Amino acid sequence: GQQVMQIPQYQHVQEGEDFTTYCNSSTTLSNIQWYKQRPGGHPVFLIQLVKSGEVKKQKRLTFQFGEAKKNSSLHITATQTTDVGTYFCAGPYNTNAGKSTFGDGTTLTVKP
Amino acid sequence: NAGVTQTPKFQVLKTGQSMTLQCAQDMNHEYMSWYRQDPGMGLRLIHYSVGAGITDQGEVPNGYNVSRSTTEDFPLRLLSAAPSQTSVYFCASRGLSGQETQYFGPGTRLLVL
């Protein structure tokens, strides 16, 4: 079936270190979205990527969409304690009516 | 705008009981969906709707029913609760184009004993 795989599952970093999470799909995505969920909270939309090879930045966060539109990454430069949480990618598929399938997420902890 | 609201915030049920989780949005979004999130895991789609009167199954629909009589409301019904349905339930909505932000409600934490 259609799947979105995310790695790593967990990442522990020292404050100030960089962090990257990767998302891979078994099929081509019309677009991909990234969400952040703080502990005990709900997913909050971060960004959407649509174009092949697209790169978007939000302050210390850099999002990339692969050329084949089957993979994506989120990179955080110089992590801060406010970055803790779980980061999810989600992608509707071209063949569906826009249903979102979520990866299992990468949980980031930051040691001060 | 209140965004996406969910009630109740917490619920404890006994095995076999039924209940309805409420979800409402005031953004005139066509697309609404229900997810469940088990500890340490991602979100799994239960049911979704692309408009009033239209619903469809997601990845894990068994044991749940939905209806969409209005654009605003999308209740989720547990027919006969089971311990395996202990989870956090999130409702979400967005416009139908597939290229829009998806907004999540605060969630309902359900414990089935």
Which tens digit of pLDDT belongs to each residue from A17-44? 999 999 999 888 888 999 999 999 999 9
Check residue A33 and give its pLDDT: 92
Put simply, the answer to whether A100 touches B105 (Cβ < 8 Å) is: no
Cβ neighbours of A31 in B, within 8 Å: 98-99
Put simply, the answer to whether B31 touches A98 (Cβ < 8 Å) is: yes
Cβ neighbours of A48 in B, within 8 Å: 99-101
Check residue A93 and give its pLDDT: 58
Query: Residue A94: which pLDDT band, with cuts at 50, 70 and 90?
Result: low
Model confidence pLDDT, tens digit, residues A72-91: 999 999 999 999 999 999 98
Contact A99, A92 (CB under 8 A): yes
The encoded tokens of residue A99 equal 């249903």
Model confidence pLDDT, tens digit, residues B37-64: 998 778 999 999 989 999 999 989 999 9
Residue B12 has pLDDT above 70, yes or no: yes
Query: pLDDT above 70 covers what percent of chain A?
Result: 93
Q: What is the average pLDDT across B19-34?
A: 95
Residue A50 has pLDDT above 60, yes or no: yes
Check residue B44 and give its pLDDT: 92
Q: What is the average pLDDT across A5-16?
A: 96
Query: Residue A8: which pLDDT band, with cuts at 50, 70 and 90?
Result: very high
Check residue A79 and give its pLDDT: 98
Residue A62 has pLDDT above 70, yes or no: yes
In angstroms, rounded to a whole number, what is the distance separating the alpha carbons of residues A56 and A66?
Answer: 12
Average pLDDT value for chain A:
91
Listed in order, strand segments (DSSP E) in A26-84 are: 32-37, 44-49, 55-58, 61-65, 71-76
For residue B102, give the nearest of A30, A45, A107 by CB distance.
Answer: A45
Pairing of strands B87-94, B31-37: antiparallel
Query: pLDDT above 90 covers what percent of chain A?
Result: 79
B45 near A CB under 8 A: yes
- Interface size, chain A vs chain B, as Cβ–Cβ contacts under 8 Å: 59
Of the candidates A76, A74, A75, A87, which has an alpha carbon nearest to the alpha carbon of residue A36?
Answer: A87
